[in-house]
Copies of this chain bind each other. A is one copy, B any other.
Amino acid sequence: MPDKRVASYDEALAGLDDGMTVMIGGFGDAGVPFGLVEAVLDTAAHDLTLVCNNAGTGERGIAALLKAGRVRRIVCSYPRSSGSHVFDALYKAGRIELELVPQGTLVERIRCAGAGLGGFYSPVGAGTDLAAGKEVRDIDGRAHVLERPLGADFALIAAARADTWGNLVYARAARNFGPVMATAARVVVAEVREIVAPGTLDPECVVTPGIFVDRVVMAEARS
């Protein structure tokens, strides 16, 4: 397996371009690769579609991308939180598109893309506004909604440790969307706090096998 390390956020985001779809890991702040996300500001990429559970709080991370006008559309389950004023203002002004997806359906659609499947039937959302425009089918007497795979050009995720092959382990509940997003993007970039040699991580405890990861970058304080 090739060495996946890159020396800078610059290299980590090489190829990121206008109009691309970018997955960003995290639930609340836990698992958001803040350094990588804010480094998107140093690229020229505009008109991005973000796929992430939340829409950022304060002025950091996802909120910083929104504030800088880099994002045209966001696919998420829970955009509003205390502190999501950047998103809230853009939404009110009609300056951002929102595709709202139930959280479990969001992660399952990402998995569906990563697992090479064409779609799945879920009972979640049947009989609600979020099934509008979707195929609904009765399966064993219960209404199910046809959900489609959701892939991306880039996935930006945070992990606790990587080896040079890109095998990853996570920190507690910061795991959340990371392992699934890692399966579903053309270019998967992991921001980590420590990089070790292959064979250091316990093979029974690797959560994301390196085969899914394209680039590993050390987290650094943003200047």
Residues of B within 8 A of A170 (CB): 204
Residues of B within 8 A of A115 (CB): 108
> Measured between alpha carbons, how far is A61 from B125 in the docked complex, in Å?
43
A122, CB-defined interface residue at 8 Å:
yes
Oligomer: number of copies: 2
* Cβ-closest chain B residue relative to A143: B118
> Measured between alpha carbons, how far is A142 from B119 in the docked complex, in Å?
12
Which of chain A's residues 105-138 have a Cβ closer than 8 Å to chain B? 108, 112, 115-123, 137
A195-223 interface code vs B (CB 8 A; 1 in, 0 out): 00000001111010000000000000000
| B139→A169 contact, CB < 8 A | no
| A118→B121 contact, CB < 8 A | yes
| Chain B min CB distance to A179 (Å) | 12
A140, CB-defined interface residue at 8 Å:
yes
> Measured between alpha carbons, how far is A108 from B120 in the docked complex, in Å?
11
> Measured between alpha carbons, how far is A121 from B137 in the docked complex, in Å?
14
Which of B122, B144, B204 touches A205 (beta carbons < 8 Å)?
B204
* Cβ-closest chain B residue relative to A121: B118
A92, CB-defined interface residue at 8 Å:
no
Residues of B within 8 A of A139 (CB): 118-119
Name which of A120, A122, A172 has the most chain B CB atoms within 10 A of its CB.
Answer: A120
* Cβ-closest chain B residue relative to A139: B118
Residues of B within 8 A of A205 (CB): 202, 204-205
26 inter-chain pairs at a CB distance below 8 angstroms, sorted by A residue, are A108-B115, A108-B117, A112-B120, A116-B122, A116-B123, A117-B121, A117-B122, A117-B144, A118-B121, A118-B123, A118-B137, A118-B139, A118-B140, A118-B142, A118-B144, A119-B120, A119-B121, A119-B139, A120-B120, A120-B121, A169-B204, A172-B203, A202-B205, A204-B205, A204-B207, A205-B205
- Interface set of A (CB-CB < 8 Å, partner B): 108, 112, 115-123, 137, 139-140, 142, 144, 169-170, 172, 202-205, 207
